[in-house]
Structure 1
């Protein structure tokens, strides 16, 4: 007998793999996405160990209708609400550890139920600084991106892509992927902190030494990765952009990055692995984040997101 499979119309703007793990339309709520916070497991709910990166002040996430002083309410690309990441109005020089509150993270905590293989995340997103001053604020946005925090029976590994927009006031506009050089040690990774809980190759978004050109211990440039993204004439005009990131969790290798109508071939670029951590086998956590380059709040909006597997 012939079968007809009917999919929700909203999926027509995506290119999911065979198995859809989740489809999150933020008109239906947060769908399990939440702020990324450290582990409050010490006495009186304090942190257990010192880290050079202060993780208690990252900016909040929320559902937003994207209202601005002049534009009024944008709504989302389809509907009213999007997932909004908002930093605090603080920053530090790029070659320093990120200032407390200079980033905002959104994470969905899941576990894997499928054999290793292709994993993909897609979204429609937008980004802008707070509309709090004259001029075009594009230079206030340092970087944003998407990544997965994975753990299988042997390794924990981070697979991610980052758009470096501006570094210390200089526009860069290039894509990177997470990868850690062989010569980098755990001590290098943790900015010189002895016995830091985070090991080399974990949490690339804030660990690893950084260089003034936008490079760093935790990233490699995507070949031919320069791209001018659509950014309108003022900070209250947001444009929705398409992003698709694909990697192979079994081969520990990148496959493809699509930004708008450009497709970057990432095959041959390996994903850095670390020894597995205790109690988190099967981890499959998708994350978004944004970082500011000036003492000004910046925002990242996600209209909807699809995570899928082959």
Structure 2
């Protein structure tokens, strides 16, 4: 497929583009995330046993018809269960080629399911992006989250997960472990990272936002997190580390997630994703 150069006009990538996922052309390798298991799916830890897979959506709505994506027909949609605290996650599995600066960019929208005739602006707890990576030194799951609301109150601040979750053994052979790193705890606020998202006047309206996350694989720190015109420096916050695991050298998965704060589905829509590196 020959890419239209105009598809990059809405991004500001680093010199080397690794992938451009335009969901008008399909899933582009993004797939469901599930917990680790050994021998049987019943061994997945309960908190990670019901993650929802991504879907392709043309964003139909009961009152306004079909909206499509930012500049096409289909967006990648993550939808939680209609249960407070439910999480939906999608992953694109790849590896790094050089320990350099990397950047993930996307145009996104967040919304709760429009089951009520009100704005419902505090239904989505949050959403975010993380890397699942390992080199010769360490294993990390560096994550940024926008904490949108909690218990009916709007919060609106960006965070980095800094506290390490507890490890759990899976199975009986000692080959597999798991951690619930999606739990709603262990976050630290990014300095000057508080701002409000654009939420339109009706439950069925949604606006697209730009997100850019730059991470340095050499220092293992987030450098900048940018949402539209808000640019935040996150270098002071050290993401948590875990022990190196077998067979994972070179791992660098790119992952998105969304959380609901009420008994209603929360949605994260991705128009497209661009992942680039310095070299």
**TM-score scaled to structure 2, two decimals?**
0.91
Q: 2:121 aligns with which of 138, 149, 152?
A: 138
Measure the CA separation in 2 of the matches of 1:272 and 1:141.
25
**TM-score scaled to structure 1, two decimals?**
0.82
Measure the CA separation in 2 of the matches of 1:29 and 1:11.
18
Measure the CA separation in 1 of the matches of 2:145 and 2:162.
11
1:83 aligns with 2:80: no
Q: Against the structure 1 CA distance between its residues 194 and 239, is the aligned structure 2 distance closer, same or farther, given a 3 Å change threshold?
A: closer
- For 1:140-163, what per-residue CA distance to the aligned partner results, in whole angstroms no more than 9, with x for missing partners? 100101111111112111122100
Q: Against the structure 1 CA distance between its residues 16 and 194, is the aligned structure 2 distance closer, same or farther, given a 3 Å change threshold?
A: closer
Q: Which runs of 5+ in 1 are unaligned?
A: 1-5, 92-97, 211-215
2:35–2:178: 8 Å Cα contact kept in structure 1?
no
2:168–2:178: 8 Å Cα contact kept in structure 1?
no
Measure the CA separation in 2 of the matches of 1:126 and 1:155.
33
1:108 aligns with 2:108: no
- For 1:66-117, what per-residue CA distance to the aligned partner results, in whole angstroms no more than 9, with x for missing partners? 00111110100010000000111011xxxxxx4xxx111011011112x211
Q: Against the structure 1 CA distance between its residues 231 and 117, is the aligned structure 2 distance closer, same or farther, given a 3 Å change threshold?
A: same
Match in the other structure for 1:46 = 41
Q: 1:247 aligns with which of 192, 215, 234?
A: 215
Map 1:223-238 → 2, pairs under 5 A = 223-238=191-206
Q: 1:198 aligns with which of 153, 178, 186?
A: 178
In the TM superposition, residue 7 of structure 1 has moved relative to its aligned partner by 6.8
1:60–1:87: 8 Å Cα contact kept in structure 2?
no
Q: Against the structure 1 CA distance between its residues 40 and 274, is the aligned structure 2 distance closer, same or farther, given a 3 Å change threshold?
A: closer
In the TM superposition, residue 59 of structure 1 has moved relative to its aligned partner by 2.2
Measure the CA separation in 1 of the matches of 2:53 and 2:117.
25
Find the residue that maps to 1:54 and give its secondary structure. helix
Q: How many residues align?
A: 270
Measure the CA separation in 2 of the matches of 1:110 and 1:21.
10
> Once superposed, which parts of structure 1, at least 4 consecutive aligned residues long, lie more than 4 Å away?
193-196
1:72 aligns with 2:49: no
Q: Which runs of 5+ in 2 are unaligned?
A: 171-176
Q: 1:302 aligns with which of 266, 270, 278?
A: 270
Match in the other structure for 1:220 = 188
**Alignment RMSD (CA, Å):** 1.8
- For 1:221-272, what per-residue CA distance to the aligned partner results, in whole angstroms no more than 9, with x for missing partners? 0111111110101121111100000111111122100001110112333232
Measure the CA separation in 1 of the matches of 2:252 and 2:119.
37
2:145–2:159: 8 Å Cα contact kept in structure 1?
yes
